[in-house]
Amino acid sequence: MIRECHLHGYFEGDLCPACNSEGKFIMNGRERDQIARRMAGILRHFPEKFDLEMDINGWVSIRELSNSLARKDKRKKWLRDRHISAIVATDPKGRYEERGGNVRATYAHTVDIELDLPTDNIPELLYYPCSRDELDTLLEGGIHPGGRKWVHLSKSITSAGGAGAVHHSYPAIIEIDTIQMIASGNIIFHAGTTVYLTENVESQYCSAVDYENTEYKLLSDVWAEEE
Query: What CATH number does residue 138 fall under?
Result: 3.20.170.30
Residue 219 and residue 135 in one domain: yes
Residue 172 and residue 100 in one domain: no
Beta partners for residue 208, in sequence order = 174
Which pLDDT does position 222 carry in this prediction? 83
3 state DSSP class of 196: strand
Q: Give pLDDT tens digits for 119-131.
A: 999 999 999 999 9
Query: Could you give the percent of the chain with pLDDT greater than 70?
Result: 100
Better pLDDT: 149 or 39: 39
Cβ count within 10 A of residue 182: 16
Residue 25 and residue 98 in one domain: yes
Residue 99 and residue 23 in one domain: yes
Confidence of residue 68 (pLDDT cuts 50, 70, 90): very high
For the segment 22-34, the average pLDDT, to the nearest whole number, is 94
pLDDT higher than threshold 80 for residue 227: no
Q: Does a structural domain hold residue 118?
A: no
| CATH code, domain with 80 | 1.10.10.970
Q: Does a structural domain hold residue 162?
A: yes
Mean pLDDT of the chain: 93
Domain with 47, as residue range(s), is 2-105
Q: Does a structural domain hold residue 111?
A: no
Residue 149 and residue 82 in one domain: no
For the segment 63-89, the average pLDDT, to the nearest whole number, is 95
Nearest alpha-carbon partner for 86 in 159, 15, 9: 9
Torsion of CA 49, 44, 58, 51, to 10 degrees: 10
Query: Could you give the percent of the chain with pLDDT greater than 90?
Result: 81
From CA 116, how far away is CA 118, in angstroms rounded? Answer: 7
25 phi, psi to nearest 5 deg: -65, 135
From CA 148, how far away is CA 112, in angstroms rounded? Answer: 10
Q: Give pLDDT tens digits for 138-179.
A: 999 999 988 778 999 999 999 999 999 888 889 999 999 999
For the segment 173-191, the average pLDDT, to the nearest whole number, is 96
Global pTM value? 0.84
Helices (H), the chain: 29-44, 62-72, 81-90, 135-141, 157-164, 178-183, 214-226
Give residue 186's identity as a one-letter amino acid code: N
Give residue 204's identity as a one-letter amino acid code: Q
Q: Does a structural domain hold residue 185?
A: yes
User: What's the structural domain count of the chain?
Assistant: 2
Q: Does a structural domain hold residue 12?
A: yes
Residue 132 and residue 220 in one domain: yes
Helices (H), 45-101: 62-72, 81-90
